[in-house]
Amino acid sequence: MKIITVIGARPQFIKAAALSREFAKHKEIQEVIVHTGQHFDANMSDVFFDEMEIPKPTYNLEINSLSHGAMTGRMIEGIEEVLLKEKPDLLLVYGDTNSTIAGALAAKKLHIKVAHVEAGLRSFNMEMPEEVNRILTDRISEFLFCPTQSAIDNLEKEGYNNIDCEIIRTGDVMQDAALFYAQKSEEKSTVISEIGLEKFALATLHRAENTDSKERMTQLVNGLNEIHETICPVVLPIHPRTKAKLELHGLELKVKLIPPVGYFDMLELLKNCSLVMTDSGGLQKEAFFFQKNCVTMRDQTEWVELIDNKVNVLVGADKNLLIDSAKEMLKQSSDFNINLYGNGKASSAIVNTILAENSKII
């Protein structure tokens, strides 16, 4: 059985690595990895793949730095060529990037069945390109691997019980990856000794809806600065785009800024921090994986189960709400002994489903 895996962004490589390790246990499965090149990253060298124990892509389409339409169109064209050559039984995609929808469309047009990992997630904000990508990918996929019950609920509300597809709750492959790499991060990373803090809150700030708005950015910067100065030291890996936006808006982050960090460093920061404050999607979950309360600087989240279980709180871009929530979450003792994301067994659940459904795929 031949499976084509299409990925294009660094987080997708890490997720795919978890599933690739599981595929490798089954001799009857041949996986071919296609990297679209969507997120061009000089750090994605042989060292990156070797250190992360990630299978190197068979194909690299090197498509990046284009508009959404141009990028997606060229990806469809490039992936189609690979599919015609490889003739797979199944195409597998992750998440909600342009690479995701391009892979699904290319396969569907060639009557190749599609499996979507991280299916059913919704932000209910159609202005986000990711929301468009994930909704369209779900609709043309035969296998919808859902990380959470809320993802399944979303699909059922949208009528997917009346669509010819398999909906399976598997858990989240990001937890598989986080638990696997957490065993290696301490020996790979020196970031904790470098920052020299015993207690700190970890923050990230990069989402366009925050950084593109001077009003939102001002509220969040002022809130983070006050938390750093009066409540708890804040460590923030500064994204180059965020740095440029701070200069554009005439704002100054007075927290402890460090350069962008790799995955091992981020895991060590998560393992050692007292609180997470973020506008990232993935970091909200990773906070949970490492039993840390989270304050999310967004108006909505795809990970509603974290809100429901009171280990995460949404504060939008409200300075006072950010400060008050940080105080509360630093004091709050939360119960993390709940299985929201599969407890690190999502990859095996996905592979077992694929093998069980083999007769439907081929």
- Give the list of residues 6+ apart from residue 221 with CB closer than 8 angstroms, or none: 246, 251, 252, 253
- Beta-bridge mates of residue 312: 294
pLDDT digit string, tens, across residues 107-157: 999 999 999 999 999 989 898 899 999 999 999 999 999 999 999 999 999
User: Comparing 18-27, 43-52, 324-333, which segment has the lowest mean pLDDT?
Assistant: 43-52
* Residue 52's pLDDT band (cuts 50, 70, 90): confident
User: What digits encode the pLDDT tens for the residues 157-171?
Assistant: 999 999 999 999 999
Cα–Cα nearest to 226, from 197, 253, 205, 251 = 253
HEC per residue, the chain: CEEEEEECCHHHHHHHHHHHHHHCCCCCCEEEEEECCCCCCCCCCHHHHHHHCCCCCCEECCCCCCCHHHHHHHHHHHHHHHHHHHCCCEEEEECCCHHHHHHHHHHHHCCCEEEEECCCCCCCCCCCHHHHHHHHHHHCCCEEEECCHHHHHHHHHCCHHHCCCEEEECCCHHHHHHHHHHHHHHHHCCHHHHHCCCCCEEECCCCHHHHCCHHHHHHHHHHHHHHHHHCCCEEEECCHHHHHHHHHHCCCCCCEEECCCCHHHHHHHHHHCCEEEECCCHHHHHHHHCCCCEEECCCCCCCHHHHHCCCEEECCCCHHHHHHHHHHHHHCCCCCCCCCCCCCCHHHHHHHHHHHCHHHHC
CATH of 183-331, one of 2.30.42.10, 3.30.420.40, 3.40.50.2000, 3.40.50.620: 3.40.50.2000
Q: What percent of the chain has pLDDT over 70?
A: 97
Residue with tokens 């599933």: 19
Q: Which of 26, 68, 116, 206 is catalytic?
A: 206
Report, as an integer, the average pLDDT of 31-43. 83
Residues forming CATH 3.40.50.2000 domain(s) in the chain: 2-171+345-361, 183-331
Q: Over 90: is that where the pLDDT of 39 sits?
A: no
Alpha carbon distance 129, 131 (integer Å): 5
Residues 6+ apart with CB under 8 A from 156: 167
* Confidence category of residue 359, pLDDT binned at 50, 70, 90: low
- Average of pLDDT values for 334-350? 95
**Lowest mean pLDDT across 21-25, 56-60, 271-275, 355-359:** 355-359
CB-based contacts of 28, cutoff 8 Å, min separation 6: 1, 355
Q: Is 116 a catalytic residue?
A: no
User: Which of 163, 96, 154 lies closest to 124, judged by CA?
Assistant: 154
Q: What pLDDT does 362 receive?
A: 45
Rounded Cα gap, residues 86 and 71, in angstroms = 22
For 165: left if phi > 0, alpha if psi spans -120 to 50, otherwise beta; the answer is beta
pLDDT in tens, 288-306: 999 999 999 999 998 999 9
> How far apart, in whole angstroms, are the C-alpha atoms of residue 14 and residue 31?
16
pLDDT digits (tens, 9 = 90+) for 58-91: 999 999 889 999 999 999 999 999 999 999 999 9
Strand partners, 2: 30
CA distance 165 to 149: 17
Note the pTM of the prediction, 2 decimals. 0.88
Nearest to 296 by CA among 283, 310, 275, 313: 313
Distance CA 100, CA 250 (A): 36
45 vs 284, higher pLDDT: 284
For residue 360, the model assigns a pLDDT of 52
Would you state the structure tokens that stand for residue 242, as one six-digit string?
Answer: 């965020």
pLDDT of residue 361 exceeding 90, the answer is: no
> Could you tell me the fold of the domain covering 2-171+345-361?
Rossmann fold (3.40.50)
